A = this chain, B = another copy of it.
């Protein structure tokens, strides 16, 4: 008999990817330039030149011999290069032994949840949050406990999170810069969370891990709001990074898990990560893209086009009259829907070929997420559609 849990998940695919598929279909029908798909986080900024140059060079040199298996945690020289890059940027002392390369942030999170949680345990997520956390926790036999962020500034509500911690709490997962809100948790906000987690780890007699899901690390727009290096604030932090956004490689599935030496029994935790990978069917991350990220690891991240879009988007929304959260990072605009039911609002927008994602799946009602990781022209066109929808609601 098929697994009903899997079937139900597969029959109701996540809304973001469903909308993406609809967008592709609709573009084929009415033309690419007439659909304003702000539903997905597919970066529009091209990968750094280094990426395709490296690929072309590897392919030319390869003569068909470069596509073999790598050790499961990744090629040793690639892991070492990542460690050195982190050491340089964040003044750390990591080595390749701290790193496990994965097939994307999704893998990193699923593997880590499998590794550090026992069935029946809980992971706390400040909400809004990335909805697939629930699916991966579910696969580990666990559940996500949502704790709403503070409604005024969308920072974490640490006292509420502390109150949610109990003996079943295995981990807290944070995502800063944040998808879907575009907020960045301040250093103080994370330090407060760390204090609370230390208190509760002691109270319950076991470490509560902090999973720092940070594929948007480099995408911040104000120098004084630069994301903190989370392991500096809390020892039992596991960092989950992906090059999907910084190198515009989301479809190539290349990412890593960092288990710092500061993590209690870090060797055991690292082993559990390796075992989590095996359980989930990972053999190794793609050989070629392991080499690509090594060669391009120091390539600067081009966030300026997103910042330009962000400013145009904010100005346009201001002019029309929409309420939104001013994005500090990532490439999402979190906009208040024009009616309490965000799904109904999204449907109205869809009729105008403006594709958005309702906030409900992120654990909060009444908002929509609009990715501005698209072309400037798409944002400008989308603003025209936002105006049409506004007018429809206000006629």
Return the chain B residue nearest A46 by Cβ: B64
CB-based contact A52/B68 at 8 Å:
no
Residues of B with C-beta under 8 A to A59 = 52-53, 55-56, 59
Give, as a whole number of angstroms, the nearest-CB distance from A376 to chain B: 15
Question: Is A67 part of the binding interface, using a Cβ–Cβ cutoff of 8 Å?
Answer: yes
Question: Which positions 43-65 of chain A face chain B at CB distance < 8 Å?
Answer: 43, 46-49, 51-53, 55-56, 58-60, 62-65
Residues of B with C-beta under 8 A to A283 = 104, 106, 250, 253
Question: Is A93 part of the binding interface, using a Cβ–Cβ cutoff of 8 Å?
Answer: no
Residues of B with C-beta under 8 A to A135 = 278-279
Question: Is A268 part of the binding interface, using a Cβ–Cβ cutoff of 8 Å?
Answer: yes
A355 to B21, CA, bound (A): 48
Tell me which of A1-9, A341-349, A378-386 binds B.
Answer: A1-9
CB-based contact A251/B287 at 8 Å:
yes
CB-based contact B280/A7 at 8 Å:
no
CB-based contact A276/B3 at 8 Å:
yes
Q: How many monomers of this chain does the complex have?
A: 2
Question: Is A288 part of the binding interface, using a Cβ–Cβ cutoff of 8 Å?
Answer: yes
Q: How many residues of A contact B (CB 8 A)?
A: 90
Question: Is A87 part of the binding interface, using a Cβ–Cβ cutoff of 8 Å?
Answer: no
CB-based contact B72/A2 at 8 Å:
no
CB-based contact A64/B47 at 8 Å:
yes
CB-based contact B6/A272 at 8 Å:
yes
CB-based contact B52/A281 at 8 Å:
no
Give, as a whole number of angstroms, the nearest-CB distance from A9 to chain B: 3
Tell me which of A112-120, A150-158, A315-323, A356-364 binds B.
Answer: A112-120
Return the chain B residue nearest A21 by Cβ: B71
Give, as a whole number of angstroms, the nearest-CB distance from A135 to chain B: 5
Question: Is A14 part of the binding interface, using a Cβ–Cβ cutoff of 8 Å?
Answer: yes
Q: A42-B68, A136-B281 are in contact. Are A9 and B253 (CB under 8 A)?
A: no
- What mask results when residues 1 to 25 of chain A are scored 1 for a CB within 8 Å of chain B, else 0? 1110111111101100100110010
Give, as a whole number of angstroms, the nearest-CB distance from A11 to chain B: 4
Residues of B with C-beta under 8 A to A271 = 6-7, 10-11
